[in-house]
Structure 1
């Protein structure tokens, strides 16, 4: 597995971030819609162990991902995970295979992502049902510099997952706890990206 090192920045102005990335010479692969299913055992033992088992659909492609805490202690200002990721040929067949092994969908989530390469980092402009975030993936040396170049406030940075941020948002709004976060029909109508069918 490879190590994934990242930080998220909350309350981002994605339009302004796009302008700064363009002005700074960043390269983008465009915007796209993502649909994600997170699997676990009935006892939620993967969650307890800090392991993510995810099947993602993006741009007509299925991607299977496993994330887990790194072996050994790593002191970092970034969120560090071991990650194994691969494309799979058939989303429905992969889902059926996971369910045949005893896993079931724990929750689902959606986002619109715009991915950039900038200053040695991968910068993702993420629009979620509950807010906009910038996620920067790189190294201990490159992420802070990239964030500073984009004018991001270190006080808005977080190591939290989008799952945790959704639950925090719902609690802050006085809403019932709900692990899934998908766009409402009204929100979908306002998205300017193609929403493909799985």
Structure 2
């Protein structure tokens, strides 16, 4: 089981981050539109344990299971143990998981642009409720990369996008809602984001 270490940062658009990435000779590794469905037991046992069972469609289909790592991580860095595999058929896998007793707890959509430095993966994420940057690397590399990109580890977040969405709705005085997907009015923003990165390249 692989150990995943990552930190999220809220950013005000992506132009400055892209410019900084190019300045540090980061390599653009493609972008994609994602559809994700999170499965759980009817009583939400996985969520209660901080675990995740996710089916993702993004050019290819992947099934992922994550659970909190027993090895601690610095403040602002999320540490998860992860198992992931490619799946041939998105809808068939949904039916298999349903047949095993899992239910679809929530859906979410995201546009992701990926850059690679010598020791980190930097993801620029457009979500229906905001713009974010995620850095995946060892803790020291996360801190170095964040500083190079104009971010402070004091602002790093170790929570999930679902948690950030709940915070967003609470700040707006809206009731809780689990799923977050793009609406028709967001279509131009999604198209512009993908075009800026050169189109969907990762398969």
TM-score of Structure 1 vs Structure 2, range by shorter chain: over 0.9
Unmatched tracts of structure 2, length 5 or more: none
Q: Secondary structure at the match of 2:61?
A: strand
Q: What is the CA deviation profile of residues 134-192 of structure 1, one whole-angstrom value per residue up to 9, with x for unaligned ones?
A: 00000022110011111113332110100000000000011121010111110023322
Q: Which range moved further: 148-157 or 14-23?
A: 148-157
1:171 matches 2:170: yes
Partner in structure 2 of residue 161 of structure 1: 160
1:12 touches 1:134 (CA, 8 Å); kept in 2? no
Partner in structure 2 of residue 11 of structure 1: 11
Q: Shift in Å at residue 51 of structure 1? A: 0.7
CA distance in 2, matches of 1:129, 1:30: 20
Partner in structure 2 of residue 86 of structure 1: 85
2:73 touches 2:79 (CA, 8 Å); kept in 1? no
CA distance in 2, matches of 1:146, 1:88: 32
1:57 matches 2:64: no
Q: How many residues of Structure 1 are paired with residues of Structure 2 in the alignment?
A: 193
Mapping of residues 38-57 of structure 1, within 5 Å: 38-57=38-57
CA distance in 2, matches of 1:73, 1:20: 32
Q: What is the CA deviation profile of residues 52-83 of structure 1, one whole-angstrom value per residue up to 9, with x for unaligned ones?
A: 00000002x1110001012x342433210001
Give the TM-score normalised by structure 2.
0.90
Partner in structure 2 of residue 125 of structure 1: 124
Partner in structure 1 of residue 190 of structure 2: 191
